[in-house]
Amino acid sequence: MQSLMRRISLIGSLALSLGFAYPAFAQTCSLTVSNLNFGTYTGTLLNGTSTGQVTCAGSWDIPLDAGTGAGATETNRKMTGPNGATLNYALFRDAARTENWGNTTGTELTGTGNTKITVYGQIAASQYVVSGTYTDTIDTATTSFTVTATIVADCTITASTLSFGVYSGTTTNATSTLVVNCTKNAPYYVGLNAGTATGATVTTRRMMNGSNTLNYALYSNSARTINWGETVGTDTVSGTGSGANQSLTVYGQIPSGQALVPGSYSDTITAIVTY
């Protein structure tokens, strides 16, 4: 993991609140701030905090700069990750996270005397970035702290029901949809197992009605010539995550000429995503 760092400046004055003092009244102030570690970001809104201590006899103000991320501003800061990828975030003066903390007039944190402070951070939802460690640095004249977040490669998968309808002895086709969501740039493989019927394989699947069976097959192409199995790199479907939902079509077929006992036949297939 990488860490993000930024510096914070603290200026104290007995004479003027903006940090300038007449020499006869100059005072020494200090600031310490802990690092802000957001933890793992999964694409949903994520909050984090760091804390600090101001030691000062008089009034003070603390500006926070834009940080070190390329193109960052004091209202849209950026942590930097693998190959220059960026993750946007913001820093606030209040727990409600409505008052941006910047370094222009009116956006600094101000106060008087010895005080504990809190930096309120937030990463907005729905940012699709590559996995890795993201860091930034906040700097001021007297101290600095790091801002850190981690994105771990992850995938989810959901499936719709494949319904063939009525089989009358002729070739019957149907489709269903798998929805895969993987971290941006994360390679993945989707496999389909043999199902739950006794003796079934990934090339000869079986729906069951009691002890009665109905053979069928699952394919990864619309021509129904490429079997969809579960051996990674052999008969699975591969892809690269975008951070958003990606749809895959499962092409099912019941071969013709099967003499069956009337009734309802079913099977359960497990879809497996490997990443």
- pLDDT per position as a tens digit, 246-258: 999 999 999 999 9
Q: In the predicted model, is pLDDT for residue 3 greater than 90?
A: no
Task: Please give the average per-residue pLDDT across 195-222, as a whole number.
Answer: 97
Are 111 and 213 part of one and the same domain? no
Domain shared by 84 and 213, yes or no: no
Together in a domain, 13 and 128:
yes
Q: Flag whether pLDDT at 2 surpasses 50.
A: no
212 against 5, higher pLDDT: 212
In total, how many domains does the chain have? Answer: 2
Q: What is the mean pLDDT of residues 53-78?
A: 96
pLDDT digits (tens, 9 = 90+) for 39-63: 999 999 999 999 999 999 999 999 9
**82-117 pLDDT, tens digit each:** 999 999 999 999 999 999 999 999 999 999 999 999
Q: Could you tell me if 121 and 90 lie in one domain?
A: yes
Choosing from 99, 127, 151, the residue where a domain stops is 151
Overall average pLDDT of the 151-166 stretch: 96
The reply to whether 131 and 252 lie within a common domain is no
- Do 164 and 112 lie in a common domain? no
Averaged over 134-143, what is the pLDDT?
Answer: 91
pLDDT at 1 over 50: no
Looking at the fold, whether 122 and 178 belong to one and the same domain comes out as no
Question: How many CB atoms are located within 10 Å of the residue 86 CB?
Answer: 18
Same domain, 147 and 173: no
Same domain, 86 and 164: no
Q: What is the DSSP string of the chain?
A: ----EEEE--EEESS-TTS---GGG----EEEE--EEEEE--SS-EEEEEEEEEE-SSEEEE-B---SSTT--SSSEEEE-GGG-EEEEEEESSTTS-SB--SSTTTSEEEESSEEEEEEEEE-S----BSEEEEEEEE-SSEEEEEEEEE---EEEEE---------SS-EEEEEEEEEEE-BT-EEEEEE---SSTT--SSSEEEEETTEEEEEEEESSTTS-SB--SSTTTTSEEEE--SSEEEEEEEEEE-S-----SS--B----EEEE-
Q: Do 80 and 12 belong together in one domain?
A: yes
Domain coverage including residue 10 = 5-151
Residue 102 and residue 214 in one domain:
no
Look at residue 21 and tell me whether its pLDDT is greater than 90. Answer: no
Average pLDDT over residues 201-207: 97
Q: Is the pLDDT of residue 9 over 50?
A: no
CA 137/CA 8 separation, integer angstroms = 10
Query: What pTM did the predictor assign?
Result: 0.77
Domain edge (last residue) among 104, 132, 151: 151
What's the pLDDT score for residue 5?
28
| Beta carbons of 199 and 205 less than 8 angstroms apart | no
Q: Which CATH number do you get for residue 227?
A: 2.60.40.1090
pLDDT, residue 206, reads 97
Say yes or no to pLDDT of 34 above 90.
yes
Please tell me the distance from the alpha carbon of residue 176 to that of residue 199, in angstroms, as a whole number: 24
Pick from 126, 151, 176: which residue ends a domain? 151
- Is there a single domain that holds both residue 196 and residue 118? no
pLDDT for position 142: 85
CATH code of the domain covering residue 29 = 2.60.40
pLDDT score recorded for residue 17: 29
The predicted structure's pLDDT at residue 13: 27
